[in-house]
Amino acid sequence: MKKFAPVTLLALSTLLGTAQAAVKLPNVNCAGGSNARCQYSSSNDGKVGSGLPFNLGGFVAIRSGFVDANDNAVYVPVEFGGQQDNQGVIMKVDLATGNRTILSGYDGEEFHGKGQDYVDYQGQKASAYDLGRVEVVRPGPDSGSVLALVDKGLQQRTEIFRIDKKTGDRSLVWASKVFNDSAKDGPTSIRTIEQQKAGIGGSNMCKSAGDDRVALKPEETFETDGKNVYLFFANQPSGTGIGLMKVPVSSGKCEWVSQYWPDGTGNVGSGPTVNTLSPLVFSSALVGNEFVGVTGPNPSGNTMFAINVNDGKRRTVSLLNRSTPARSKGSGDAEVGRLGRMAVTSDGLAATMGKDTSDEYFEPTLVKLSTGDRTGTEAKSGSLKNSGRDSNASIVAAIPGTHKFIVAYNRALHVWDTDNGSSYVLSQ
């Protein structure tokens, strides 16, 4: 595969952010064909790396995580069971061994860490802040924590938790609306607890640009720089505005970073009004000072865009526009994938899943953020080659200092090297 030159669009120091130590990966040589990591098999569930397997039953999905080089680990959200239940965990996976440790959540039999106890409107003891349908995990504001987004569906609120790495305990950072419980205000009421601890119900609620009485629900992704949480909103319900908002991690006012309307006008920030046809965003990354995301489905092609979190300036990064080719950004016949999440390497190489199909083969698209050029590719050898279909395939994280990605496929984590197309099972 063609190797990609370093990004020149942004200063390297800006793009890299905080430097991390080099990671240690398994010593895998698939040339001899004897290493069990070189070929995926469902019979190896729980056998590649120690600890509970990812396949814990029901609908299993491993979404977007991150690599912490100082811990030599990747942190991943693992959703299983059903959409509305409390079954979901955050796992820490050792990059050298593939060993799995549940950091927080309910694994179907055992609870790890605790949420917030309260007394409900019926006078019964209850507990909030489970990790059912956990979607995204990001670094916390300090080395001892991570942040996680939970979203159980359109009618439920979106929650972002801070999770203590040592205890697994979960505390609320932000929620899209007040808790659905009508107990009277008091020291044991969940609404009182959340208002006192996280300011829920006050200025940290993200409000419509058209009517500040309407609290908004974001897309199923977020980014953080340790100081703020960045959330994308897609004009739902209609007339509330499209764009990026920020909320301080330590609680504070939710504000628009960049905001515009479907008719092309904008109130905050500047640049192209991307995402106006179908502004659904499932994939994102924070690259330097830019929130980078992918929107779709659009009849003319999915769009990779970027919004500067400091001044709200918007730009189209990459687009294969089939209906109006002159609007395309970057070269290449491959499409930017809107499903399956995304990740970006230290030097600005983004990986997304490729075709928007329900029966996804491993056919990712690589995008150079400096030019928008797209390359469709595949695994040339190892565990991801001819691995069948997986509608829940996901680009989980990039490995710092390399062109390697952690990929969730067939209920296992794989390491995929984009420089030579090789792959192997990291943990199963």
- At 107 the pLDDT is 93
Residue 72: pLDDT band by 50, 70, 90 thresholds? very high
At 144, is the pLDDT very low, low, confident or very high (cuts 50, 70, 90)?
very high
Residue 33: predicted pLDDT: 67
Q: What is the pLDDT of residues 194-218, one digit of tens each?
A: 999 999 998 899 999 888 888 999 9
| Whole-number pLDDT of residue 251 | 81
Among 390, 372, 381, residue whose Cα is nearest residue 418? 381
Q: pLDDT band for 339, please (50, 70, 90 cuts).
A: confident
**pLDDT value, residue 279:** 63
Q: Band the pLDDT of 280: cuts 50, 70, 90.
A: confident
Instruction: Tell me what the mean pLDDT of segment 334-343 comes to.
Output: 86
pTM of the model: 0.92
- For residue 56, name the pLDDT band (cuts at 50, 70, 90): confident
State the pLDDT confidence band at 9, using cuts at 50, 70 and 90: very low
Q: What is the pLDDT of residue 36?
A: 87
Band of the pLDDT at 360, cuts 50, 70, 90?
Answer: low
pLDDT of 161 higher than 70: yes
Q: Give me the percent of the chain exceeding a pLDDT of 70.
A: 92
- Judge whether 190 and 118 are in contact, CB under 8 Å: yes
pLDDT digits (tens, 9 = 90+) for 88-104: 999 999 999 999 999 99
Q: What is the pLDDT of residues 231-278, one digit of tens each?
A: 999 888 888 989 999 999 998 899 999 999 888 888 899 998 875 555
Lowest mean pLDDT among 6-20, 148-162, 247-261, 265-279: 6-20
pLDDT value of position 39: 92
**Per-residue confidence (pLDDT) for residue 12, from 0 to 100:** 35
* pLDDT band per the 50, 70, 90 thresholds, residue 356: low
Phi, psi at 12, each rounded to 5°: -60, -40
pLDDT at 275: 58
> Which tens digits make up the pLDDT trace of 294-338?
987 776 778 999 999 999 999 999 999 888 899 899 999 998 887
Residue 172 has pLDDT above 70, yes or no: yes
pLDDT of residue 277: 56
Place of tokens 């808790």: 179
| Burial class of residue 348, CB neighbours in 10 A (0-12, 13-18, 19+) | buried
pLDDT at 229 over 80: yes
CA distance 279 to 274: 8
Q: Quick one: pLDDT at residue 248?
A: 96
- DSSP letters spanning 197-254: HH-TTTTTS-B-SS-TTSB----S--EE-SSEEEEEEE--STTS-EEEEEEETTS---
pLDDT at 16: 40
- pLDDT at residue 191 in the model: 96
Residues 45-62 have a mean pLDDT of 91
pLDDT for residue 157 is more than 90: yes
Q: Is the pLDDT of residue 355 over 70?
A: no
**CB under 8 Å to 120, separation ≥6 — which residues?**
126, 181, 183, 190
Mean confidence (pLDDT) of the chain: 89
Q: Of 116, 128, 127, 120, whose CA–CA distance to 184 is shortest?
A: 120
| CA distance linking residue 345 with residue 233, whole number of Å | 25
